[in-house]
Amino acid sequence: MDRETLIRAPRELRTPRLLLAAPRPEFAAPFVASLNRSLPGLGYIAWAQRPQTPDWAVRFMRGGLEDVEAGEYLVFYAFLPGREPDEGYVGRIDLHSWDFEAPRCEVGYVGDSRHAGRGLMREAVLACVQLAFGLGAARVQALSEAGNARALHFAERALGFVREGVLRHYERDAQGRLGDQVMFAAYNPDAR
């Protein structure tokens, strides 16, 4: 694997209930509306500590698109097809921190609070994991702060990832406090 693998990767994915697409300027509005609506549950997300503006979202979307086009990582915005974008916005999933030698990557996810508990983020994230495996990743990992109970439950129970252990004093949290992270992973059965 290398950057070219990511540059050539699909920009759209379909699941039974969702359409996932790489960043587009028109996603900025539903994304920032969702973020601002979901803020009470986003205490562990560094870039979601305060309400964000439409201009910030346009810049965020543009930066994401540039990074995807450069093969840095993959990002998908998940929607319920047939709904208005704002109403149908479900969440954002990224495949980042690629190590092309292993090869492996990390998955990150932020869901819209309106659609929580319907299995939609599970469906979206698992589609991205399958994409990573299809591109050649041997392992997809997820790191969650040890106190992020919902994320820990989601990784282990909804995604079925293996809980590998705790990384102590691993990084600073959104408030700057030194914290522990729980490492989860899924393994590609076809990896050699």
**Element housing 34 (H / E):** helix 28-38
Q: Nearest approach, Cβ of 50 to ligand COA (angstroms)?
A: 15
Q: Judge if the upstream peptide bond of residue 103 is cis by omega within 30 degrees of 0.
A: yes
Q: Nearest approach, Cβ of 7 to ligand COA (angstroms)?
A: 26
Q: Which residues in 15-158 belong to E strands, given as ranges?
A: 19-21, 74-79, 89-99, 104-111, 139-145
Burial class of residue 92 in the structure, from the number of CB atoms within 10 Å of its CB (0-12 exposed, 13-18 middle, 19+ buried)? buried
Q: Which stretch binds ligand COA (CB under 6 A): 3-11, 69-77, 105-113, 164-172?
A: 105-113
Q: Which stretch binds ligand COA (CB under 6 A): 25-33, 42-50, 64-72, 98-106?
A: 42-50
Could you tell me the two tokens for 183? 């490492």
Helices marked H in 49-165 — which ranges?
Answer: 54-69, 85-88, 120-135, 149-153
**For ligand COA, the closer CB: 58 or 116:** 116
DSSP state at residue 46 = T
**For ligand COA, the closer CB: 95 or 110:** 110
Q: What mask, x for binding ligand COA by CB under 6 A, covers residues 109 to 148?
A: xxx---xxxxxxxx---------------------x---x
Contact between 154 and ligand COA by CB under 6 A: the answer reads yes
Note the residues at the interface with ligand COA (CB under 6 A). Answer: 41-42, 44-45, 109-111, 115-122, 144, 148, 150-151, 153-154, 157-158
